[in-house]
Structure 1
Amino acid sequence: MRIYIIISFLFLSISSNAQKQEVQKCIESFFEGFHQRDSVKIKLVCSDKLILQSISESSTKGNKLSDETAKEFYKSIATIPSNLKFQERILSYNIQIDGTMAHVWTPYEFYINDKLSHTGVNAFTLFKEKDFWKIIYVIDTRRK
């Protein structure tokens, strides 16, 4: 009996790890497309009903919540000047999964032309659609 419990626990642990790797790969693909200025690649891992929001934090101007449509987001990615160097460095992944929903918390540093521009956290919500994870919601914080 004890061996069955151990085997069951190992199977659940392996399955959970595989799910987390799939979710992380989805987020990594999102950022690959972002850094390549490739909105088509980003769309592959995003839902058609993608929701985007940002929270700008400022001690002088106050905090501001802003919304961006998916169409505006994809256009902004595709029109980033080719001479602008930028990188969003993901510092870690905290992935939580319940069935067909996943939540990913990713602290980051954002660099423009190798200079730190701002820091914050991304929070992604994903939905498992058929056999693929899709990003349905992104909110991030931004602070100088």
Structure 2
Amino acid sequence: MKHIIILLLLIISINSYSQDSDKSVEKAIIDVVNQFFESLEKQDTILMKKIVFIDGQIWRVRNNQNKISYDMRYFKDDLKSFNSKETLLETPLSFEIKIHNEIAMAWVPYEFRINGEFSHCGIDVFTLIYTREGWKIVNASYTIDKKGCEELKKQ
């Protein structure tokens, strides 16, 4: 009977360690995504280079009335335009994180303001890969929506 109790305690402790580990990985991913938003707000190229693959892609989907448009650019191209006179503030509304070994995805509804004025809302989807330096964003895709923002806040 003693051996069964010890075995059960061992199994329970391993499971709780795994859950703690998952939460710390999730927090590390959220930290990287928040650093991405911070780098946009501060126009900080050094921080951006630290958290992204420079040759990674950024996909944008614009929902304009009855017309949807798509375009793609690279993080390295965005870094060249980091001297904007405008104040950019992207605020995450929530985070949904999926992790499998060294790859992760962050689904992040957001609101975007330019010079303090509401511009749009949407969904950011970040793909991250774990490297020797930590988690890095390899791809970012996002929507630009003028409608449906209240629904995003409820999610």
TM-score, normalized by length of structure 1? 0.92
**Equivalent residue number for residue 110 of structure 1:** 112
Structure 1: runs of 5+ lacking an equivalent: none
Report 1:93-108 matches (<5 A): 93-108=95-110
**Equivalent residue number for residue 27 of structure 1:** 33
Give the C-alpha shift of residue 58 in structure 1. 1.6
2:12 is the alignment partner of 1:10: no
Give the C-alpha shift of residue 86 in structure 1. 2.4
**Equivalent residue number for residue 80 of structure 1:** 84
2:66 is the alignment partner of 1:65: no
Give the C-alpha shift of residue 85 in structure 1. 2.5
Structure 2: runs of 5+ lacking an equivalent: 1-6, 147-155
Give the C-alpha shift of residue 71 in structure 1. 2.4
What is the CA–CA distance in structure 2 between the aligned matches of 1:8 and 1:139, rounded to whole Å?
36
**Matched residue of 2:59: which SS?**
strand
**Matched residue of 2:16: which SS?**
helix
Give the C-alpha shift of residue 67 in structure 1. 0.6
User: Of 117, 139, 142, which residue of structure 1 is paired with 2:141?
Assistant: 139
Higher helix share: 2
After TM superposition, the runs of 4+ consecutive aligned structure 1 residues lying more than 2 A away are none
**Matched residue of 1:80: which SS?**
coil
Amino-acid identity (%): 25
Root-mean-square deviation (CA), in Å? 1.2
What is the CA–CA distance in structure 2 between the aligned matches of 1:85 and 1:26, rounded to whole Å?
21
**Matched residue of 2:34: which SS?**
helix
What is the CA–CA distance in structure 1 between the aligned matches of 2:40 and 2:116, rounded to whole Å?
17
How many residue pairs match? The answer is 140
**Matched residue of 2:62: which SS?**
strand
Give the C-alpha shift of residue 69 in structure 1. 2.1
What is the CA–CA distance in structure 2 between the aligned matches of 1:131 and 1:6, rounded to whole Å?
32
**Equivalent residue number for residue 4 of structure 2:** none
TM-score, normalized by length of structure 2? 0.85
What is the CA–CA distance in structure 1 between the aligned matches of 2:120 and 2:17, rounded to whole Å?
41
Contact 2:111 2:121 in 1 (8 A): yes
User: Of 44, 47, 59, which residue of structure 2 is paired with 1:41?
Assistant: 47
